[in-house]
Copies of this chain bind each other. A is one copy, B any other.
Amino acid sequence: MVLNAERLPPMLRISKLTDYATVILARLAEEGAGQHTAVELAELTGIGLPTASKVLKGLQRGGLVASTRGARGGYTLARPAAAISAVDIIDAVEGPLGLTECASHPGQCGLEPSCRVGRSWQRVNVAIRRALGDVKLTQLIGREANAAPAADLAVVLGSRPGLRVRS
């Protein structure tokens, strides 16, 4: 599909940084864990300080952690762990990861008329994001075996007009 799309962010990706972020968030989510400095978090998690710091910055831009600067500053969860989802984490750390490459800027791909494949992958991606949005930090950490409904990929894919995906 791509062929001549300009530089666009890749699709769904879960990489090391996201991993780190989850570990750090896990620490912050621990009971009674108030404020922690980047240094503390780095030591607690075993992640290198500069890297931990970078991750933390991403998380703060993404609005997942709140920060106080200056002496006695540090980081806290911006919202309760149950209100932080897997997509939130991924988006915060890896940037607003795009959909299919030629789908973001329609009209760029020369094959667009003859092919509906790109659109399909995009739907898949959206479905995955939706499902990932139902996975909360509490679940990633281990507590709370709650079960929220996830999007059904196949259904989303086969969506004819009128067929709705249950939210």
The distance in angstroms between the C-alpha atoms of A141 and B101, with both chains bound, is 17
Judged by a CB distance under 8 angstroms, whether A15 is at the interface is: yes
The interface residues of chain B lying within 8 Å CB-to-CB of A15 are 10-11
A23 to B118, CA, bound (A): 8
Q: Within A92-121, which residues are at the interface with B (CB < 8 Å)?
A: 100-102, 110-111, 115-118, 120-121
Which A residues form the contact surface with B (CB < 8 A)?
A: 1-3, 10-16, 18-20, 22-23, 26, 45-47, 86, 100-102, 110-111, 115-118, 120-121, 124-125, 127-128, 131-132, 134-136, 139-142, 144-155, 157-160, 163
Q: How many copies does the complex hold?
A: 2
List of 6 A-B pairs having minimum Cβ-Cβ separation, nearest first: A145-B158, A150-B153, A1-B19, A120-B140, A147-B155, A148-B154
Q: Report A27 CB to chain B, min CB distance, Å.
A: 9
> What's the minimum C-beta distance from A44 to chain B, rounded to whole angstroms?
9
Bound together, the chains give a CA A1 to CA B154 distance in angstroms of 32
Decide: B11 and A13 in contact? CB cutoff 8 A: yes
